[in-house]
Structure 1
Amino acid sequence: MRAVIRLFFFVLRRLLMPFMLIYAVLSKPKPVSRSPEAQAEVDAACHGLTLYQFATCPFCIKVKKEVHRLALPIAMANIRRDPAARQALLAGGGKGQVPCLHIAHEDGREEWLYESSDINAYLQQRFAA
């Protein structure tokens, strides 16, 4: 029974994939505008951030839209296409759930933030004007 359920969701994802990708492109919000100096500060602050995701995950799309809206140059790691990224997520965060924002603090601490709403709240609190 478990195999049938997995097969059902696999087929469903494959059927919905083109629509999810089109939605992600068409629904991108307009990015915020910052002065060059302010954008340079944001760019430097984003240096230690990596978003673990994959293209057709609706929760990842939600986070990527917020990243685009805030004009953040966050590194993206696709766990479906890059086995090393998936291993890094499992080793560091402890689970293969996406989206996951890896935050490397300047003092050497590492934080793994799961849940799209929590990630968006963190990004808004840290980078919104």
Structure 2
Amino acid sequence: MKFVRWFLGRVILLLNAVFTPKSMTRSALEQSEVNVAAEKLRLYQFDACPFCVKVRRSAKRLALPLKTLDAKKAEFEQELIQGGGKRKVPCLRIEKEDGHVEWMYESTDIIQYLEKRFA
């Protein structure tokens, strides 16, 4: 079973690399505003997780430089569990202007949030 999971993960990564979505274009000023806003976002994820790939592809389409953190690494796994409450990916950490932090777990919810905020 472990081999099947590993193999399917590699297939997902290969297909993602071959069929990478095209990024939207913005003016330089708009893109710099998006880049600044994206600094408040962190995506906890696994490389070959299909739901994480779905979120990363959406970020790519939105030309969003989303910082990704590998939740398999102990330090990021601990951050995810302490902050969000569970070891589940994808998880988007959103730091609000007032310093409050929101943790969003479902890929569909994350994509809807990113499209609403950055499209």
Larger radius of gyration, structure 1 or 2? 1
Matched AA of 2:85 = G
- Unaligned 5+ segments in structure 2 are none
Cα contact 2:9–2:49 (8 A) shared by 1 = no
For 1:25, which of 9, 17, 30 is the aligned residue? Answer: 17
Report what 1:5 is aligned to.
none
**Post-superposition shift, 1:20?**
1.3
- Percent of aligned pairs with the same residue? 45
Alignment pair present for 1:38 and 2:39: no
CA distance in 1, matches of 2:49, 2:9: 9
- Which amino acid letter does the alignment assign opposite residue 111 of structure 2? N
Cα deviation code 1:38-80 (max 9, x no counterpart):
0010011111100000110000000000000001111110112
Q: What's the TM-score once normalised by structure 1's chain length?
A: 0.89
What is the aligned residue count?
119
Q: Superposition RMSD on alpha carbons, in Å?
A: 0.9
Is residue 110 from structure 1 mapped to residue 101 from structure 2 by the alignment?
yes
Q: Following the alignment from structure 1 to structure 2, what is the Cα–Cα distance between the partners of residues 95 and 28?
A: 30
Partner residue in 1 for 2:111: 120
Identify the residue that residue 65 of structure 2 maps to in structure 1: 73
Q: 1:91 aligns with which of 82, 91, 101?
A: 82
